[in-house]
Amino acid sequence: MDFDYLEFGLEQKINLGVAGNTSYIFKTANFLNRNDLRIIDYKFMRRGDPIFFQDPHKAFQALDSTFPVFQRFWQGNLVHEFNGALVNKIPFMKKLKIQEIAGGGILLAKERGLRYIEVFAGLERVFKWPFNPLSKVKLGIYVVGSGANKYNNPVQFKVGLTTWDRFRNKWR
C-alpha cells in the first residue's frame, strides 16, 4: 500500500438549554497520493437507505448511489434535537414524551461534479427495553427532502430505530 489521505474537520455539540441540543460535523478530505490504493482504503459516500433512517451525523439520507471519492470533497451535517421544546407546547402532548429533531447535510464532490443538499425533520420517542430495564431504544419517523444538480429525489418518509449504548452514554 502506498497512499496518503488528509482530512480536516470540525465537530461540536452545543447544549442550548430548554431549546435543545445542536451538533454539527464539517469536514474536507482528499487523497494526496494514490500510488497503490486498494479498494479497502477507498473513501465512499454511502447511498441513503430507502426505508431506514441512518445516523444523520455520518450519512446522507437521500443520496441516490454509493460512490468512491478520490479528489477533495466537502461534507457537512447538522442536527438539532429540540427535546420536546415545540411539541410540549401543545396541550396533552407532553404526556406522550415525543421529541422533535431536524437537520440537514451538504456534500460537494468533484468526482461527479456533485452539489447535494438535504434537510430532514422527524418525531422520536424513547422506549425502555422491557427485557432489560437498563437499556432503551429510540423509535422515530422522519421526512427527508433533498436537491442536487445531477438528479432529483422526491420527498421520502423513513423509520429509524436507535439503541442506547450505556457504556459510552450515547445513542448508537
- Measured at the alpha carbon of residue 122, what is the angle toward residues 117 and 124, in degrees to the nearest 5? 140
Would you kindly state where each structural domain of the chain is located, as residue ranges? 2-171
pLDDT of residue 1: 81
pLDDT of residue 94: 84
82-131 pLDDT tens trace: 988 888 888 888 888 899 999 999 999 998 899 999 999 999 999 987 77
Q: Report pTM.
A: 0.88
In 3-state terms, what secondary structure has residue 136? strand
